[in-house]
Amino acid sequence: MVRFGPFRLTAPPGEDGRIVIKGPQLIGFISRLLPTCPDPDPLLPWPAAQDREQLWPF
């Protein structure tokens, strides 16, 4: 399982230990939506002087 904030990506591991995820790259898509990447762990604090509303452009 790969964790990125509230998102969890799961895929069966390949024989060489890599995780193969088919379809669009979700993390790359999220990086285009957010001008500043928040901490990947939702339990960590957000960057100083910023809150969730300032990080989400919509």
pTM for the full model?
0.18
For residue 58, is pLDDT > 50? Answer: no
Q: Give the range of the structural domain holding residue 7, as residue numbers without chain letter.
A: 1-37
Euclidean distance between CA atoms 40 and 20, whole angstroms: 20
Express each pLDDT in 30-56 by its tens digit: 656 665 655 566 666 655 655 555 555
Instruction: Classify residue 23: in a domain, yes or no.
Output: yes
Instruction: Classify residue 32: in a domain, yes or no.
Output: yes
Instruction: Classify residue 21: in a domain, yes or no.
Output: yes
Instruction: Classify residue 44: in a domain, yes or no.
Output: no
pLDDT: which is higher, 57 or 48: 48
Instruction: Classify residue 25: in a domain, yes or no.
Output: yes
Instruction: Classify residue 18: in a domain, yes or no.
Output: yes
Q: Domains in the chain: how many in total?
A: 1
